[in-house]
């Protein structure tokens, strides 16, 4: 089985190791190294010729988007796909990444469930592309449907928005085993308690979180929510 070589460009060693671990747990992905700067990344791209780069945008000696531009402008280089990691306020960077043909982009702090979903989609698209020699319209449509993330996402019910849901999932992914009450989550996310309760019950009903009653010394039990594993 052909492996997909992946270069991780990330100056935070802990985050880079988590990325590497997720890649190793996903069939066919082969993390070939970690670059902590643009200079190191340029060398490793030239030496290792990765097929995919998980690219942080803020690096000690420049930005990841600059490296992306360099890779595209190098006509002699083989094709390299990029998953760009950006801050939530970098809308111009996201727009540029889309124009350059970035496979996907993830917002900081990274939701590792979201990264896993991106890797799975990349693998599916990569396998589908290699399965066809001559493309018909139906096959082209199938490939584009794989690339369009919304085609594969479950339709959310009324009152549940993807942006708020992603924020809540991110909080619990970063606090494995920590129990949150409705009020605590409401304050952390900046939403009303009624809204927080609606999202928490949705997550509990769909297996994203575990809900339980926590009993104190006096008074009624309080409902708490927790993510037990990554």
Would you state the pLDDT for residue 145? Answer: 54
What is the per-residue burial (b if ≥16 Cβ within 10 Å, else e) of 84-108? bbbeeebeebbeebeeeebbbbbbe
Report whether 115 contacts 92 (CB < 8 A): no
How remote is the C-alpha of 15 from its chain's centroid?
13
The verdict on domain 162-226 having CATH code 3.30.2350.10 is no
CATH of domain 4-151: 3.40.50.2300
pTM for this predicted structure: 0.61
Give residue limits of the domains in the chain.
4-151, 162-226
Handedness of CA 191, 107, 17, 130 (dihedral sign): positive
Distance CA 168, CA 189 (A): 7
pLDDT tens digit sequence for 106-156 = 888 787 878 888 898 888 777 766 655 555 555 555 555 555 554 445 567
CATH topology of 4-151 equal to that of 162-226? no
Would you state the pLDDT for residue 152? Answer: 43
Report whether 48 contacts 37 (CB < 8 A): no
Would you state the pLDDT for residue 133? Answer: 53
Q: What is the mean pLDDT of each run of 10 residues along the chain (230 residues)?
A: 91 92 90 96 94 95 93 82 82 84 85 84 75 54 52 65 85 92 93 92 88 73 85
Tell which residue, 85, 76, 37, has the closest CA to residue 57: 85
Between the two ends of the chain, the Cα-to-Cα distance in Å is 28
Would you state the pLDDT for residue 129? Answer: 63
């Amino acid at each position: 089985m052909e492996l997909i070589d992946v270069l991780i460009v990330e100056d935070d060693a802990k985050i880079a190791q988590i990325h590497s671990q997720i890649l190793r747990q996903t069939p066919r992905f082969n993390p070939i190294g970690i670059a902590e700067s643009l200079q190191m990344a340029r060398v490793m791209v030239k030496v290792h010729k990765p097929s995919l780069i998980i690219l942080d945008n803020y690096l000690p000696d420049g930005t990841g988007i600059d490296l992306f531009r360099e890779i595209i402008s190098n006509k002699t280089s083989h094709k390299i796909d990029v998953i760009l990691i950006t801050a939530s306020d970098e809308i111009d960077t996201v727009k540029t990444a889309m124009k350059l043909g970035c496979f996907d982009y993830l917002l900081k702090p990274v939701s590792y469930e979201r990264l896993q979903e991106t890797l799975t989609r990349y693998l599916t698209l990569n396998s589908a592309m290699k399965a066809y020699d001559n493309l018909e319209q139906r096959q082209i449509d199938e490939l584009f449907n794989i690339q369009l993330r919304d085609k594969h996402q479950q339709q959310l019910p009324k009152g549940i928005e993807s942006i708020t849901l992603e924020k809540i999932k991110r909080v619990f992914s970063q606090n494995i085993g920590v129990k949150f009450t409705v009020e605590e989550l409401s304050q952390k996310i900046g939403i009303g308690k009624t809204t927080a309760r609606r999202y928490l019950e949705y997550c509990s009903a769909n297996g994203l979180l575990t809900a339980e009653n926590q009993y104190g010394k006096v008074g009624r039990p309080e409902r708490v929510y927790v993510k037990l594993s990554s």
